[in-house]
Amino acid sequence: MNIVSNPLGTPLAHRDRFARRFVQLQAGLVAYGVSMALMIESRLGLDPWDVFHQGLSLRTGLSVGTVVILVGVLVLLLWIPLRQRPGIGTISNVLVIGVVVDVALVLLPAPGPLAARTAFLAGGIVLNAFATGLYIGARLGAGPRDGLMTGYVARHPHRSIRLVRTVVELTVLALGWLLGGAVGLGTIAYALAIGPLTQWFLPRLTVRDTPRATVIISE
């Protein structure tokens, strides 16, 4: 009797696993869009990219969601010289988050008192980390902004991802602030909290590889 390990598993198992990953991806992107809307409505400050998105929105008259989509497309074009290939998650990231932001901004009540705005901010930051864990954990492709940084580091291995991310985010933060985007205590709170929160959520939400199927062959 021989025991053979099949690393591919069964076709049905693969379909089920992909379906779970796809649903998790979309849920994460929807949650991410809602988290952005919560932080925008708090009016206490945004993360660097959203300061940039909001600043462009104020200057162009376009909705925040539309700006998010357009910036995502432009960033995706920068993948071409880096020879990065977008996945399903990358394309979904560009399209879904922007639409959800605009819908959520219409549906969310405007918080008046500072306590309510603080709750919106705190909830937005936690939900943002949870959403990041969901869509990255689905393992169906990096978002356009993350892929830009990882692609650059792959082409320039002497650069650290931490350095590249810091430079990119400080640049978009400065540009967003100059354009009128909201920089405040929320920006600092996000910078301090998002790393530890994402680190906690990500391993718990990452979809693991399909276990090897064991086939027993009788002689």
- Provide the pLDDT for residue 8: 47
Q: Which amino acid is at 218?
A: S
Spatial contact of 39 and 182, defined as CB atoms under 8 Å apart:
no
Spatial contact of 34 and 132, defined as CB atoms under 8 Å apart:
no
- Count up the domains in the chain and report the number: 1
Q: Which SS3 state, helix, strand or coil, does residue 52 take?
A: helix
What is the distance between the alpha carbons of residues 141 and 161, in angstroms, rounded to a whole number?
17
- Provide the pLDDT for residue 40: 97
What is the distance between the alpha carbons of residues 60 and 180, in angstroms, rounded to a whole number?
11
* Average pLDDT of span 160-165: 81
pLDDT at 7 over 50: no
- Provide the pLDDT for residue 217: 47
Alpha helices in 61-184 (DSSP H): 64-77, 79-82, 88-107, 114-137, 144-155, 161-178
Q: Determine phi and psi for 213, rounding to 5 degrees.
A: -90, 135
Task: Calculate what percentage of the chain has a pLDDT beyond 90.
Answer: 66
- Provide the pLDDT for residue 51: 98
What is the distance between the alpha carbons of residues 166 and 59, in angstroms, rounded to a whole number?
25
pLDDT at 56 over 60: yes
- Provide the pLDDT for residue 190: 95
Residues 6+ apart with CB under 8 A from 92: 25, 26, 29, 140, 141
The overall average pLDDT reported for the chain is: 89
* Higher pLDDT pick, 172 / 15: 172
Q: What is the pLDDT of residues 85-124, one digit of tens each?
A: 899 999 999 999 999 999 999 999 988 899 999 999 999 9
* Average pLDDT of span 175-202: 94
> What is the domain range of residue 202?
2-217
* Average pLDDT of span 118-146: 94
What is the distance between the alpha carbons of residues 35 and 182, in angstroms, rounded to a whole number?
16
* Higher pLDDT pick, 140 / 208: 140
Q: Which of 94, 137, 108 is nearest to 41 (CA)?
A: 108
Q: Which of 154, 112, 128 is nearest to 48 (CA)?
A: 128
